[in-house]
């Protein structure tokens, strides 16, 4: 499966790399791909996209 990222997503990945949370881009990409696949197989969420992004950002910082 190929997944294309938007420019905004690419900026997010770059920021994660610069923060030192990931050693390289492929690790960040693999985690994002895994999260996307989980999302495809999950039931619909009542959360807003901003809530989901906020939760993910908080989890990465912890």
Query: Which residues are CB-neighbours of 44 under 8 A, at least 6 positions away?
Result: none
pTM over 0.75: no
Smallest CA-to-CA distance from 1 within 44, 49, 34 is with: 34
Quote the number of domains for the chain: 1
As a whole number of angstroms, the distance between CA 30 and CA 32 comes to: 5
Give the pLDDT confidence of 5-52 residue by residue, as tens digits.
889 988 887 887 788 766 666 777 788 888 888 888 888 888 888 998
> Given this model, what pLDDT does residue 32 score?
82
Report if residue 1 sits inside a domain.
no
Residue ranges making up the domain that contains 11: 7-61
Helix (H, G, I), strand (E, B) or coil at 34: helix
Please, what is the end-to-end C-alpha distance for the chain in angstroms?
A: 30
């Amino acid at each position: 499966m190929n997944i294309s990222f938007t420019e905004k997503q690419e900026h997010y990945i770059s920021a994660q790399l610069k923060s030192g949370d990931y050693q390289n881009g492929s690790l960040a990409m693999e985690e994002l791909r895994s999260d996307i696949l989980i999302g495809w197989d999950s039931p619909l969420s009542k959360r807003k996209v901003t809530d989901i992004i906020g939760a993910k950002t908080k989890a990465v910082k912890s």
